[in-house]
């Protein structure tokens, strides 16, 4: 047998916490070298640290990855500190001959990773990076004028045209172990799981890790894909995939989702729900559209994509923001969404649009305040998607919904939660109200409120703002912006 090349292969895990379709891991395994897997918790990696819900998910996902690696002869080494320093230190410690990782696309991380690759090469260590997180990397899909797309529909048309038969790498069957394992930090010492109080009791609906991601995808394809186009907008029904946190942490990759969805459709033949599948896969496209927006516009999470909005007259309404975060606005559909978020770390996508519109347009609170709350409380908090979607709602982003499109939280509830299943679940103090007044309880007469056990202003708040007044105020603010510009 040929002699194995000198020096172990060091695999740097980041947001690719899986074994299958992981090209960095596959390349290390195929090198014939002993494989050392590393995860670094770098609290200073981004402009802000991970939110609480993300830290909860990461804790569980790392446990799952460690167990999966152990089953194929590997071990997950944990280090905390500046990622570049920790990785270079470990590479030197183990005498690594190869370092592999899968690329991230936030501009600051691209710059850091480029510098890291140069450092490794100058030390005589081979460094290889791969794409594991996107169908198309941000620089590959351009307009005819060689510019980044700013509108989703033509972007997705061009992106899909680039995709042939999508291939998925299998998980390695076995990893070669080094003679001696390097020391690892202890996950419990990182304090990722909340303590005193543990606010994550409702997060038990999730199963972080690669196995949980695959189970969720399979269940969605077999049980929910058909009629997805209709049911995805109904928060009271289990109509969506719930894959977003698994995709964010890379417990499953978009190539796997794409390939498995197409394999599922082929197995069904003419019975395949083609339109529903197209709508579902377009959600992958929207995720990638957002990723390329951040890549080309590094301040997307901080600054308006459309500079004229820099002069927008936002209000400093701390009481309104507090009522919104607590789900105590007096608008049941809005409150249901914020309470679902706090309890489960998730919010239905249709409701995300409703609550974001309410904060921005009913309260005239800067979109960045809502984006920061979502960053801390969502298990699928993603820098690109979070910022791009908030800017989309505010009308200041790419492919934005116009600012004058102001969701009426009453009619939105009546349209998308007509039987009140969603509101009754998350706002139980209103559960005995009839459907006719559930989304606007202040219109119910005293007898109906009394029979339902509702006392407005006591058991459930009155609306913190009148819809008609708020709409007129928001349109006035928009007009003042146009006048200023």
Catalytic residues: 283, 286, 314, 349, 367, 390
3-state SS class at 430: helix
Tell me how far apart the alpha carbons of residues 22 and 250 are, in angstroms, rounded to a whole number: 9
Tell me how far apart the alpha carbons of residues 214 and 251 are, in angstroms, rounded to a whole number: 8
CA-angle at 270, arms to 268 and 273, nearest 5°: 70
- The rounded radius of gyration (Å) of the Cα atoms in the chain is 24
Burial readout 94-131 (b: 16 or more C-beta within 10 A, e: otherwise): bebbbbbbbbbbbbebeebbeebbeebeeeebbbbbbb
| Residues contacting residue 77 through CB under 8 Å, at least 6 positions apart | 36, 37, 38, 39, 90, 181, 182, 183, 184
Q: In this structure, are residues 78 and 184 in contact, taking their beta carbons and an 8 Å threshold?
A: yes
| Residues contacting residue 92 through CB under 8 Å, at least 6 positions apart | 123
How many of the other CB atoms lie within 10 Å of CB of 435?
13
Q: In this structure, are residues 427 and 339 in contact, taking their beta carbons and an 8 Å threshold?
A: yes
**Bond preceding residue 197 cis, omega within 30 of 0:** yes
Token couple for 399 = 């492919």
């Amino acid at each position: 047998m040929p002699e194995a090349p000198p020096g172990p292969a060091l695999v740097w895990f980041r947001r690719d916490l899986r074994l299958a379709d992981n090209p960095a891991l596959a390349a290390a395994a195929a090198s014939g070298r002993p494989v050392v897997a590393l995860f670094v918790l770098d609290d200073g990696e981004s402009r802000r640290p991970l939110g609480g819900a993300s830290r909860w998910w990461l804790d569980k996902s790392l446990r799952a990855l460690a167990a999966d690696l152990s089953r194929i002869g590997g071990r997950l080494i944990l280090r905390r500190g500046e990622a570049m320093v920790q990785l270079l230190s470990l590479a030197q410690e183990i005498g690594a001959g190869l370092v592999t990782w899968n690329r991230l696309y936030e501009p600051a991380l691209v710059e850091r990773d480029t510098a890291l690759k140069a450092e490794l090469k100058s030390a005589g260590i081979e460094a290889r990076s791969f794409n594991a997180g996107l169908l198309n990397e941000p620089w590959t899909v351009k307009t005819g004028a060689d510019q980044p797309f700013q509108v989703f529909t033509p972007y997705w048309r061009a992106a899909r045209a680039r995709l042939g038969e999508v291939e998925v790498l299998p998980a390695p069957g076995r990893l070669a172990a080094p003679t001696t394992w390097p020391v690892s930090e202890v996950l419990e010492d990182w304090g990722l799981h909340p303590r005193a109080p543990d606010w994550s009791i409702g997060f038990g609906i999730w199963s972080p890790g690669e196995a949980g991601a695959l189970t969720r995808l399979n269940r969605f394809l077999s049980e929910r894909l058909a009629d997805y186009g209709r049911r995805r907008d109904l928060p009271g029904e289990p109509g969506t995939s719930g894959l977003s946190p698994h995709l964010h942490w890379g417990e499953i990759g978009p190539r796997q989702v794409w390939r498995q969805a197409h394999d599922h459709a082929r197995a069904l033949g003419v019975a395949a729900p083609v339109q529903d599948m197209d709508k579902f896969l377009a959600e992958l496209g929207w995720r990638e559209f957002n990723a390329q927006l951040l890549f080309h516009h590094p301040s997307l999470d901080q600054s308006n994509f459309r500079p004229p909005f820099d002069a927008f007259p936002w209000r400093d309404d701390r009481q309104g923001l507090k009522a919104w975060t607590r789900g105590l606005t007096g608008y049941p559909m809005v409150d249901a969404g914020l309470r679902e978020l706090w309890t489960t770390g998730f919010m239905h996508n249709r409701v995300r649009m409703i609550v974001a519109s309410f904060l921005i347009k009913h309260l005239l609170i800067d979109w960045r305040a809502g984006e920061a709350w979502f960053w801390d409380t969502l298990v699928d908090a993603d820098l690109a998607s979070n910022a791009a979607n908030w800017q989309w709602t505010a009308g200041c982003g790419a492919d934005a919904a116009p600012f004058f499109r102001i969701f009426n939280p009453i009619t939105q509830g009546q349209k998308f939660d007509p039987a009140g299943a969603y509101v009754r679940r998350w706002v139980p103090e209103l559960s005995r109200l009839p459907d006719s007044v559930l989304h606007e309880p202040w219109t119910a007469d005293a007898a109906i409120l009394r029979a339902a056990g509702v006392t407005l202003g006591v058991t459930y708040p009155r609306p913190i703002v009148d819809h008609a007044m708020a709409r007129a105020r928001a349109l006035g603010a928009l007009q003042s912006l146009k006048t200023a510009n």
